[in-house]
Amino acid sequence: MTDAPSLSVRHKRLIGILLLILVLGGIWYLLSRTPPSAPAFQRGAWNQATPVHVVPAARGSLDVQIKAIGTVTPLHSVVVRSRVDGELLRVHFNEGSEVEQGALLAEIDPAPYRARLAQAEGQAQQIQAQLANARADLELYEGLWEQDSIARQQLTSQRALVEELQGSLKANTAQVEDARLQLSWTRIVAPIAGRLGLRRIDPGNQVSSGDTEGLVTITQMRPIAVEFSVPEPDVPALRRAMAADGELAVQALDRDGRNLLASGRLQTLDSQIDLGTGTLRAKAVFANEDTALFPNQFVNVSLKLQTLSSVITIPSDAVQFGSRGTYVYLVNPEENRAYSRVITLGASADGRVAVVEGLDEGDLVVLEGLDRLRDGREVVISERDGE
C-alpha cells in the first residue's frame, strides 16, 4: 500500500523532466535558425526581409533658396484730407477705381475763399496806387533838393514813406498768394496714382483740415512691395549673394505655395536684426502690372541665392540623424541588404539636399521603410504605384 504513492510521484517527476527537455529543445531549435550575431529583436518575426522604397542619388543642379512668409505692402499709401474748411460740394471719383496723379477728386465750396482773394487783391491795388504816388513825390522832392528848395528832413521823410509802402505791398502780395492758394485747395486732387478705397464722407457735409479720417485713401498698386523676415543664420549667405549679384530674384506664391503670383527683385535689407525674433527684415519690389498682389495679402516668398551645379542630391526625407551625425541607409542590390553610411550635407531646396561627402551618383538610398532598418538587415525593394 505504501509503494503506490511513491510510484505516482516518480511518474510526475519523469513527465516534468520530459516536458522541460522538450521546451529547451524547441528554444535551441529556434535559436539555431537565427545567426548568432543578430540582435535579439531581429530574431523570429523580425528576421523577415523588410520592404523598402529606394531612390538613386542623382547628380544635377540645385537652386539654393530662402523661403519665408511675406506681407504685401504698398510703397505709398495716402489718406486724402481737405486742407481747408468748408462744405463738400461734389465728389468726382468712384470707390475702388484707379486714379492718376493730379486727377480731380472733390470740390469744396470756393465762395468764401474767392471773397478773401478779392479782398486781398483790392488792398494790394490800394497800396500800389499809394506807392506810385509816393514815388512821384519822392522824384519831385529830389529835384527840389538839388535846387536847395526844400529841407533835407522833408526828403528823408518821403523816402521813408516809399520804403514803408514797398514793405506793405510785399506783405499784401503774400496775402494775395495765400488767398489764391487757399482757393486752389478747394479743388482736391489725387497726390499719387493708385487705387481708391471707400468714400468716408458724402457731399453736403462740412469738412475740416483737422479731420483725421479724411475723404478717401489712395493706395499705390504698381509697383508694390513684399516685406518678409530672413532667419539670422541665413543672413551671411544672403549678404554674400547680394554682394556678388546686386539684383536677386524673388518670387511671390499663393498661400499654398503652388501658384506663382509675381516675380520681382530684392530691394533692400533692414539695418539691424530683431533681437526678439532673431530675424532680419527684407523688402522686395514687384512690378505687379496685373495687380495680382494686393496690399496686406500674405504670400509665400522664395528668394534664390545661387545655383549649385553638378552636385549629388537626395530627398531630404531620406536623411537620418543620430549620435554619429547625419546618415542614410544604402541598399546593396547584390546582397539585398541595407547598410548605414555617414554623410556630409550641403545646401537644401525644394525637398532635396546636396551631399558634399559620403555618396556617389547612382547609390540606392532608402526613402521609405526606414523605421525597421538596421545594419545588415535583409530588404525587399518595392515600387510605388505608377513607378
HEC string of 13-71 equals: HHHHHHHHHHHHHHHHHHHHCCCCCCCHHHCHHHHCCEEEEEEECEEEEEEEEEEEEEE
The residue length of the chain stands at 387
Q: Is the dihedral of CA 37, 39, 44, 48 positive or negative?
A: negative
Per the rule left: phi > 0, alpha: psi between -120 and 50, beta: everything else, 214 is left
Q: Which amino acid is at 53?
A: H
Q: What percent of the chain has pLDDT over 70?
A: 90
In this model, does residue 37 exceed pLDDT 80?
Answer: no
Contact present, 103 and 218 (Cβ < 8 Å): no
Taking residues 344-354, what's their average pLDDT? Answer: 86
The H helix count followed by the E strand count for the chain is: 4, 22
From residue 300, alpha-carbon distances to 63, 207, 259, 272, 288 in Å are 17, 42, 10, 23, 16
In angstroms, the CA 106 to CA 187 distance is 6
Q: Which amino acid is at 378?
A: E
In angstroms, the CA 386 to CA 77 distance is 52
The mean of the pLDDT values for the chain is: 87
- pLDDT at 124 (0 to 100): 93
- pLDDT at 309 (0 to 100): 87
Torsion of CA 110, 113, 114, 118, to 10 degrees: 180
In this model, does residue 11 exceed pLDDT 80?
Answer: no
From residue 341, alpha-carbon distances to 344, 359, 366 in Å are 10, 8, 11
In angstroms, the CA 287 to CA 189 distance is 25
- pLDDT at 17 (0 to 100): 79
Q: Show Cβ contacts of residue 38 under 8 Å, excluding neighbours closer than 6 positions.
A: 47
Q: Indicate the pLDDT class of residue 121, thresholds 50, 70 and 90.
A: very high
Starting from the edge strand earliest in sequence, which strands make up the sheet with 194-196, in order? Answer: 77-80, 216-219, 194-196, 98-99
* DSSP element (H, E) containing 352: strand 352-357
In angstroms, the CA 80 to CA 209 distance is 11
Taking residues 66-73, what's their average pLDDT? Answer: 94
In angstroms, the CA 119 to CA 176 distance is 9
Q: Indicate the pLDDT class of residue 386, thresholds 50, 70 and 90.
A: very low
What are the grid coordinates assigned to 159, written together?
523816402
Q: Indicate the pLDDT class of residue 380, thresholds 50, 70 and 90.
A: confident
- pLDDT at 259 (0 to 100): 94
- pLDDT at 142 (0 to 100): 86
- pLDDT at 40 (0 to 100): 44
Contact present, 310 and 61 (Cβ < 8 Å): yes
**56-60, 106-110, 217-221, 348-352: which range is least confident on average?**
348-352
Which tens digits make up the pLDDT trace of 288-334? Answer: 999 999 999 999 999 988 888 889 999 999 999 988 889 999 998 88
Q: Indicate the pLDDT class of residue 12, thresholds 50, 70 and 90.
A: confident
In angstroms, the CA 369 to CA 336 distance is 14
Q: Indicate the pLDDT class of residue 270, thresholds 50, 70 and 90.
A: very high
170 vs 145 pLDDT, higher one: 170
93 vs 246 pLDDT, higher one: 93
Neighbouring-strand partners of residue 349: 352
- pLDDT at 64 (0 to 100): 85
- pLDDT at 43 (0 to 100): 46
- pLDDT at 38 (0 to 100): 46
Q: Show Cβ contacts of residue 296 under 8 Å, excluding neighbours closer than 6 positions.
A: 71, 72, 73
In this model, does residue 4 exceed pLDDT 80?
Answer: no
Q: Indicate the pLDDT class of residue 42, thresholds 50, 70 and 90.
A: very low
- pLDDT at 15 (0 to 100): 77
What are the grid coordinates assigned to 188, written together?
482736391
What are the grid coordinates assigned to 133, written together?
504816388
382 vs 251 pLDDT, higher one: 251
Q: What is the DSSP letter of 276?
A: T
Q: What is the DSSP letter of 9?
A: H
155 vs 97 pLDDT, higher one: 97
- pLDDT at 48 (0 to 100): 76
Taking residues 347-376, what's their average pLDDT? Answer: 87
- pLDDT at 258 (0 to 100): 87
Which tens digits make up the pLDDT trace of 174-230? Answer: 999 999 999 999 999 999 999 999 999 999 999 999 898 999 999 999 999 999 999
